[in-house]
Amino acid sequence: MIRIDGVTKRYPDGTVAVDRLSLDIPDGAITVFVGPSGCGKTTTLRMINRMVEPSEGRILIDGEDSRRQPVNTLRRSMGYVIQNAGLFQHRTIVDNIATVPRLLGWSKEKARSRARELMERVGLDGSLAKRYPYQLSGGQQQRVGVARALAADPPVLLMDEPFSAVDPVVRKGLQDELLRIQAELGKTIVFVTHDIDEAVKLGTMVAVMRTGGRLAQYAPPAELLSDPADAFVEDFLGADRGIRRLSFFPSAELELLTGPVAAAGTGRTAARDTGDAPYLLVTDADGRPLGWAEPGLPTDGPVDPGRLLPCGRPFVAGQDSLRAALDCAVLSPTGWAVAVDGSGRVAGVVSQQAIGEAIRAAHAGGRSDGADTGASAKVAG
Amino acid sequence: MNVLHFVGAFFGDSAHWHGYDGIPTRLLEHLRYSLIALGVAAAVGLPAGLLTGHTGRGGNVLAFIATAARALPSFGLLVLMFILFGFGLVPVMIPLVVLAVPPILVTTYEAMRSVDPSPVDAARGMGMSEARILFQVELPVALPVVLGGLRTAAVQIVSTATIAAYVSLGGLGRYIMDGLYQHDYEKVVGGATLVAALALVTLALFWAAGRLTVSPGVRRRG
Ligand SMILES: Nc1ncnc2c1ncn2[C@@H]1O[C@H](COP(=O)(O)OP(=O)(O)OP(=O)(O)O)[C@@H](O)[C@H]1O
Ligand SMILES: [Mg+2]
C-alpha cells in the first residue's frame, strides 16, 4: 500500500502545488487522481517516485518511508508512463521495452524475449518489434509506453495522462486494454487524468482534487456520482452524472418479455400476439433480431426486412448496465430495448417504462455495487 | 594560363611527390596538426557542451566564452603565441584550438538542449542514472547535430592549419607560403587544391561517421 501522509509541495517560487494531502492508495487496484488543470495531480504522482520531493509530510510504501531506499531502486520498482509515451527514438520498439530489465542487469536475449512477451500482452503485433518509434501511430506508441513500464514486472504503475493525446476511439481501446491488463496482473496503478469520464471508467478509487492542491473527495466512482461531497465535485462531475451513474447498475434485474418476440415464418401476427407491446420483434431462425413488425403485419413466409422497423443496437442482458439498456430504448424507434444473450440471440424485450422503474428501484435500494458488476458494466456504459 | 593548367603542372611534376617537401610528407604533417587540434578542441568542447547541455546550467557563460573566442583572429593569435612561445607546435595549436572550440561547444550545447524532454523524463522516472541518461538517451538523439559541430570545426581547422607555415612549420601551407614568396603560382594553386581536397575528404568522413553511428530512428529527421 502507498500511504500519502500529510504531504505538501511548495515549489521554490512559492507555488503550493499540493496542500496537506493524505490518502491511502490500495494495492492491486486503480486509483485515479482527477481535477482541473494545475490542481497538483502530476506533482502528487511525481512525489510517489520522488521525481519531486515533498516539502512536508512523507510517503510510505508498504509502511516504509520512500526516502529510505536509494532513489533509483525505488523508481525501478515503479513503472512510469507519461503523456506522449516518451519513447527513445533511437531504439527499436523491442529495445525500448527492454530498457528497465537491461538496467536491472538482465542479459540482452532475456530482456528482449520478455519485451516480446509484453508486446503481445498490450496488444502490439510482433512484426512491430524491429521498428523505430517514428514508424508507429500515437496509440501504438502509447502501448509501447505501457509495455515498457511493465517490463520488469513492477508492483506499481504510475501513469500521468497516458491516453490524453490520442483520439477518443483509440483512447477507449487503450482504456479497455488497461482494465484487462489490470485484471490479469493485479498491479497497483496510480493514474492521473483531467477527464472525469476516464476516471469513473478506470478507477477503483477516485481522488478529486481542487485547485490549490487540496483533496476534494476520495471515493469509489459510484459513490462519487451518487454522493458528491460538495458543489465543486458535483460541478466537476458534470450535468449528466445521474445518467452516468446508471453505468454502475446491472441490467440483470430487468424483467424481459419474450411474448412479443417471434421468429420469421412462424405464422404469428403482430396484432394478435404481442400482449403489452404494440410491436412484435421478428428474429431469424437463429434467434437474432431482424426488426420490429408493426401491428397487423403478417409474419408467415419470408419477411421483407424493408417492411420492418430497425431494432437498433441491442444490449447484452445481465452484462451491460442499466445505462446501456436505457440508451437502447431511447434510440429504438418503438421505445423498446432489445436484450440479447452473449451470442447475440434475443433474450427478450423491455420498455422504457420498465427500465425507468428498474432505475427507481435501483436508486431506492442503492445497489450500486461498483466492485462486482462495475467492471463489466462500466465497459458497456 | 588558367588555374587548371597550374593544377595539372603541379601534380604532374614528379619532383612534388617525394622528399621532405613532397606531397605525402606535407599532407601527413597537415593531417597531424589538424588531428591534434581537433582532438584537443573536442576534449575541451565536447565534455563542456554535453554537461552544460544536460544540466541546462552555464549556458550564458558558455555563450560568452564562445563569442569571445570567435572574435579572436587566428593569425593575430598565432603571432602573439609565437612571440610568447617561440618556434614549435604550441603557438600553432592554440589558435587552431581556439578556432575549433566554439562551434563544438555551442553546437553540442544546443543539440543537447533541443533533445525532447519527455524521453529524458521517462528515463529518469525509470531509475536511470544521470550518466546513462546523458549517454544513452540524450546523446544518441543529439548526435547528428553534435557531429555537425565537429565537422564544422574540423573543416575550419583543415583550412586554417595552413598558418603553421608562417612559423616555419610544415603542412600544406608551405606550398602556399613558399609559392607566394617564390612567385611560383603553380605551387600556390597546388597547395590550395590539396587543402580544398582535404576539406572535402573531411566532409565525406563525417558523413560516413554519421551513417555508422546515428540510429535510423533518429536519422530520418535529417
Ligand atoms: N517546477 C515547478 N515550479 C513551480 N511551479 C510549478 C512547477 N511544477 C508545477 N508547478 C505549479 O504547481 C501547480 C500544480 O502543477 P501540476 O503539474 O501538478 O498540475 P496538474 O494537476 O498536473 O495539471 P495539468 O492537468 O495541467 O497537468 C501548478 O500551479 C503549476 O503551475
Ligand atoms: Mg499534469
The pLDDT value recorded for residue A285 is 81
Inter-chain touch B119–A89, beta carbons under 8 Å? yes
Question: Measured between alpha carbons, how far is residue A310 from residues A263, A265, B89 in Å?
Answer: 15, 18, 92
Q: Which domains does chain A have, with CATH numbers?
A: 2-248 (3.40.50.300), 261-364 (3.10.580.10)
User: Which ligand gives the minimal distance to the CA of A160?
Assistant: 2
Question: Do residues A361 and A253 lie in contact, with contact meaning Cβ atoms separated by under 8 Å?
Answer: yes
Domain ranges in chain B are: 3-219
Q: Distance between CA A87 and CA A151 in Å, rounded? A: 14
Ligand 1 binding pocket mutation candidate from A33, A39, A163, A190 (most atoms within 8 A of CB): A39
Contacts of A148 in chain B (CB under 8 A): 122, 126
Nearby residues of B121 by Cβ (< 8 Å), 6 or more positions away: A51, A82, A86
**pLDDT of A32-71, one tens digit each?**
999 999 999 999 999 999 999 999 999 999 999 999 999 9
Question: Do residues A186 and A28 lie in contact, with contact meaning Cβ atoms separated by under 8 Å?
Answer: yes
User: Which ligand gives the minimal distance to the CA of A34?
Assistant: 1
Contacts of A85 in chain B (CB under 8 A): 118, 122
**pLDDT of B140-175, one tens digit each?**
999 999 999 999 999 999 999 999 998 888 999 999
Nearest CA in chain B to A101: B126
- Supply the DSSP symbol for A269: B
Q: From ligand 2's centre to the CA of A173, what distance in Å?
A: 22
The pLDDT value recorded for residue B66 is 85
The CA distance from A77 to the nearest CA of chain B, in Å, is: 8
The pLDDT value recorded for residue A368 is 46
What are the CB-based long-range contacts (under 8 Å, 24+) for A331-335?
Answer: A332/A292, A333/A292, A333/A309, A334/A277, A334/A278, A334/A279, A334/A292, A334/A309
Nearest CA in chain A to B132: A103
Q: What's CA A243's distance to the chain center, in Å?
A: 16
Question: Do residues A31 and A205 lie in contact, with contact meaning Cβ atoms separated by under 8 Å?
Answer: yes
Inter-chain touch A92–B217, beta carbons under 8 Å? yes
Mutate to test the interface with A, among B120, B126, B145, B215 (most CBs of A within 10 A): B126
**pLDDT of B101-153, one tens digit each?**
999 999 999 999 999 999 999 999 999 999 999 999 999 999 999 999 999 99
Q: pLDDT under 50 in chain A at which residues?
A: 270-272, 367-381
Number of A–B residue contacts, CB under 8 Å: 79
Q: Whose CA is nearest to atom 10 of ligand 1?
A: A17
Of A72, A89, A91, the CB nearest to B127: A72
The pLDDT value recorded for residue A303 is 61
**Which residues are bridge partners to A207 per DSSP?**
A33, A218
The CA distance from B103 to the nearest CA of chain A, in Å, is: 24
**Which residues are bridge partners to A336 per DSSP?**
A351
Of A72, A133, A158, the CB nearest to B129: A72
Q: Whose CA is nearest to atom 2 of ligand 1?
A: A11
The pLDDT value recorded for residue A114 is 96
CA A335-A344-A250 angle, 5° bins? 65
**pLDDT of A210-260, one tens digit each?**
999 999 999 999 999 989 999 999 999 988 888 888 888 888 888 888 877
Q: Distance between CA B5 and CA B66 in Å, rounded? A: 42
Count Cβ neighbours within 10 Å for each residue of A132-166 and write b for 16 or more, e otherwise: bbeebeebbbbbbbbbbbbbbebebbbbbbbbeeb
**Which residues are bridge partners to B82 per DSSP?**
none
Backbone φ, ψ for residue A32 (5° rounding): -110, 130
User: Which ligand gives the minimal distance to the CA of A38?
Assistant: 1
Inter-chain touch B215–A132, beta carbons under 8 Å? yes
Inter-chain touch A99–B118, beta carbons under 8 Å? no
Q: Distance between CA A167 and CA A28 in Å, rounded? A: 28
Q: What is the CATH number assigned to the segment(s) B3-219?
A: 1.10.3720.10
**Which residues are bridge partners to A340 per DSSP?**
A316, A346
Q: Distance between CA B212 and CA A301 in Å, rounded? A: 74
Report ipTM (2 d.p.).
0.88
The residue among B219 and A75 whose pLDDT is bigger is A75
Inter-chain touch B126–A87, beta carbons under 8 Å? no
